Amino acid sequence: MNAEERYERTFQVGQRAEFSLVNVRGRIQVRGWDKPEVHITAIKRLGSYLGAQRAYEETWVEMEQSGCRVAARTVMGGKDNIFGWLGVSRTPPEVDYEVQVPVWSQVSIRTVGGPMEVSDISGAVYAKSVSGDVQLANIQGSAIIDAVSGVTTVENLKGNFGAKLVSGDAKLVNCQLSSLWAKAVSANVSVQTSLSPQGGYAVNSVSGDFRLVVPREARCSVRAKTTSGRVYCDLPCHRWWKGAAASGRRLSMRVGPRWNCARCQATCSSVGRR
């Protein structure tokens, strides 16, 4: 039997599209292009572990279209075999996806294991990963990340950003965020962004640090507190302390003039602002 099987289809959708993908194991790459079509290439690969041959035979890729909506997914069969009776999950083969969608698209990706890359999209991006790094680049619109045990990297995002992170760090660089919300457990979050006067920026972290890097001319009001760590600010600011002032665990402050201020709020193990 061949060590890999290739699936490839092209869907005509117009200048805007909605694309969704569900995978189990394997690399995912989605990028925008200037064609009014969605092009999907999926390659299923035979593994070398125990039971790989059977898992390979009982896994396939489905693709379908409904108007401007295109969906692809990895399907695993064989639920009636002896492994299923014993409650033992067979490791599925890796399926790698390479997808091109119109720039003006909404993208939704769910995967269990494997790295994910999404780039050059003007629209909404949703990415959920259980075990694998997530990379976003050149996104205009909004992005929501739901990740466990992986590193999230976002570069050049213009719009709104939200994240739920467990046991995985996140780093955002060269962004222009209209708003930010993030909940993190055992994760460090670092954000480099300009601030919108109409925007709200909130981070809640348990057992992790939060670092916000903004332009020196930024104007914002900040409320920050920490249960185990300290709050600090490297920029000139007007401070008024509340609660555990002496320990540096709670801080309210204003950076720049008080008009047209963005609102920043953080509850973390350790909070920093530069």
Residues β-bridged to residue 193: 175
> What is the reported pTM?
0.86
> Any residues with CB less than 8 A from the CB of 67 and at least 6 apart, and which?
13
pLDDT of residue 18: 98
pLDDT of residue 17: 97
pLDDT of residue 84: 47
Buried b / exposed e over 116-125, threshold 16 CB at 10 Å, is bbbbbbbbbb
pLDDT of residue 207: 83
Ranges of the chain with pLDDT below 50: 81-88, 244-247, 271-274
pLDDT of residue 200: 84
